[in-house]
Amino acid sequence: MLIMRISDIGPSRWYYGLGILIIVIGAAYSVSVLISSFGDLGSGQQFVAPGSSDLFLAESGEYIIFYESRAIFKGKVYSTDKSLPDLNIEVKNKTTGSRAFIYSPLKTTFSLGDRTGESIRAFKIDKPGVYEISASYASGDSSPEVVLAVGKGFSDESKIWNNAMLYLASIILGVGVILLTFIKRQKALIQRKEVESQNPDK
């Protein structure tokens, strides 16, 4: 007698679980990267503007300048207007004297503990080193004093793009495994029915 149970049809149903697991792992990793990126927003090196400060930037690549309307710097509490007057910002390599190109970044805001801020400028450097960052009001005023911070924040577009592509790849791979398993199981089921119809007494 020919006996073929549903459980004998391959591939195993476990491959459905594998596809789902791939999607879940991709989503979990993407979320962890986002959480880490948001955590970096509040860890930038602070300085007071108008004025200048020498900061050691340990990595090449893009840096974001944040305006912190609420901050604590060197024991002093700052609470300033959310709208910031126009600032002229310059970034200069202290060793070579070369100046970085300043541009507008992807808009980002954060609120972490006693610090609230938003991205206002961005720049890129070719190599690590000490950089002088100067900020002055376009009007020439010396007040109000505000806190700025420089960091490798969430506004790094390459990080966002790579994370999105990785998540998309995990979805495509996971769905592909699920669909392939479904198609193969359907073919096996059809073949079983054909065998049963050709051998009705077996």
Are the beta carbons of 19 and 192 closer than 8 angstroms? no
| Band (125; pLDDT cuts 50, 70, 90) | very high
The per-residue pLDDT for range 154-165, each reduced to its tens digit, is 545 566 677 778
Region 37-48 average pLDDT? 68
Lowest mean pLDDT among 9-18, 28-37, 40-49, 191-200: 28-37
201 found inside a domain: no
Kindly tell me if the per-residue pLDDT of 132 is higher than 90.
yes
Q: 13 Cβ partners below 8 Å, 6+ apart?
A: 181, 185
Range of the domain at 185: 6-35+161-195
Same domain, 27 and 83: no
At which residue do the structure tokens 């769905």 appear?
175
Q: How many domains does the structure of the chain reveal?
A: 2
Residues near 39 by beta carbon (within 8 Å), at least 6 away in sequence: 112
Q: Are residues 73 and 127 in the same domain?
A: yes
| Res. 116: pLDDT tops 80 | yes
pLDDT for residue 3 is more than 50 = no
107 and 11 part of one domain: no
Amino acid identity at 43: S
Cis status, amide bond into 200, omega within 30 of 0: no
CATH classification of the domain holding 47: 2.60.120
100 token code pair: 């970085």
Is 98 a domain residue?
yes
Q: What is the pTM of this model?
A: 0.60
- Looking at the structure, tell me whether residues 59 and 134 fall in a common domain: yes
Rounded distance between C-alpha atoms, residue 148 and residue 122, angstroms: 12
Q: What is the DSSP string of 51-103?
A: EEEEEEE-S-EEEEEEEEEEEEETTEEEE--SSPPPEEEEEEETTT--BPPEE
The stretch 47-73 carries a mean pLDDT of 90
Mean per-residue pLDDT, 45-64: 90
Is residue 178 in some structural domain?
Answer: yes
- Asked if residue 121 lies in contact with residue 65, where contact means CB atoms within 8 angstroms, the answer is yes
- Share in percent of the chain as helix, strand, coil (round to 5): 35, 35, 30
Inside any domain, residue 130: yes
Residues 25-40, mean pLDDT to the nearest whole number: 69
Is it the case that residue 45 has pLDDT exceeding 50? yes
> Any idea what DSSP says for residue 149?
E
